[in-house]
Copies of this chain bind each other. A is one copy, B any other.
Amino acid sequence: MRSKDETKVQLILGTALKMIERVGLAGLKMSDLAKEAGVATGTVYIYFEDKNQLIRELYLYLMHYNTADLNQPISENEPLKIKIKKIARNYLNNNINNPEHGAFLEQYFRSPYFHEDDATHQAEELALQPIYSLLVEGQRQSLIKDADPELLVTLVCGMLNEVAKVSIYTQKPITPAEWELTFSVLWDGIRS
C-alpha cells in the first residue's frame, strides 16, 4: 500500500495557478501542467477527475484562502480611521502579493468552467465582510457618509483593486507617498 501525497495536490494546484497567470485559462494544457509540476500526466488524473474538476478545485482552494486572509485580527482600541487604513492596506497588499489569485478569478468567472451555483457571491461577500463592518461602525459614529454601505465597499475596493493592478502591471511596489495619497482619496471620499 502506498498512500496519496496530499502535498501533491498543493503542488499541482499551485503550479496551475502560476501557469494560468502566465498563459491564461485558455492556454493551460494538462501535459504542460504535469511537466511544470514535475509529475507524469497520469499522476494529475490520480488526484483530479479531469481538467474541469481541477479548475473547480482551484477555485474552491482560492476562495478558502482569500476569505481567511482579510480576517487578520485588527487591533482594537484604535480610532476607526486607523483601523480602516490598516485593513485597506492589508487588502491592497493581499492583491499585490498574490497576483495569481486575481488573475485566476477574473478568468474563472468568465470561463466555461464556472457555473452560477459556485457560491461566488457568498464567498466574495464573506471576504469583504470585515471592511463592510468597519464602514457601518463608522456610520454609527457619524464618521462615514450615511449611504448604502454596499456601494461604499464597492467604491473602496474599486480604488484598491485598480491600484493593485497598476502595481502588478508596472512591477513597482507602492511607495509611501502613493499609499498616503491613495488613502487620502479613499478616506476623504467616504468620510461624512
A residues whose Cβ falls under 8 Å from a Cβ of B: 20-21, 23-27, 103, 106-107, 110-113, 145, 147-148, 151-152, 154-155, 157-163, 166, 178, 181-182, 184-186, 188-191
Contacts and interface: CB of A to CB of B under 8 A. Distances in A.
Contacts of A155: 159, 162-163, 182, 185-186
Contacts of A159: 155, 158-159, 189
A21 B110 CA distance: 7
Copies of this chain per assembly: 2
Contacts of A20: 110
Contacts of A190: 185
A79 B102 CA distance: 39
A110 B107 contact: yes
A112 B158 contact: no
Given A159-B189, A184-B189, 17 more contacts: A24-B26, A24-B112, A26-B107, A26-B111, A145-B184, A148-B178, A148-B181, A152-B181, A154-B163, A154-B166, A155-B159, A155-B182, A158-B159, A158-B161, A185-B190, A186-B189, A188-B189
Contact of A158 (B25, B163, B178): B163
Nearest to A111: B24
A45 B151 CA distance: 46
B182 A110 contact: no
A27 B52 CA distance: 12
